[in-house]
Amino acid sequence: MGSNSLDDDTISKYLYTTYRVLWEHASEKEIIKEVKILDKKFLNKLRSFSWNKALIHKDEKEKLSIIQSIPSFMIVHLLPVMNIDFLKKNVKFMNRIGSKIEVSVRVNNLYRKLSSKDLSTQITEKFNKDKIDYRKDHDIPEMFWIPLSQKNRVVRNYFYQKGFLIFQDKASATVIKTLFPREEDRICDMCAAPGIKTSLIAQYMNNKGHILAGDFLLERVKMMKILLTQLNVLNVHIINTDSIIFPIRFQNHFDKILLDAPCTGSGNLLANPELKWRQNKKFLRQNLILQRKLIESALKLLKPNGIFVYSTCSLYPEEGEYQILDFIDYLEPLDLPKWVSPSYKINNNTVPGTGRLFPSIHQTQGFFIGKFKKK
> What angle in degrees, to the nearest 10, is found between the helix axes of 28-35 and 8-22?
150
* 128 CB-contact burial (10 Å; exposed 0-12 / middle 13-18 / buried 19+): exposed
Catalytic status, residue 191: no
DSSP-derived secondary structure letter, 247 = S
DSSP-derived secondary structure letter, 301 = H
How far apart (Å, rounded) are the C-alpha atoms in residues 258 and 39? 56
State the distance between the two ends of the chain, measured CA to CA, in whole angstroms.
64
Question: 3-state SS string over 79-134?
Answer: CCCCCHHHHHHHHHHHCCCCCCCEEEEEECCCCCCCCCCCHHHHHHHHHHHCCCCC
Residue 173 dihedral angles phi and psi, to the nearest 5°: -70, -35
How far apart (Å, rounded) are the C-alpha atoms in residues 31 and 16? 9
Residue of 188, 191, 263, 313 marked catalytic? 313
Active site residues: 313
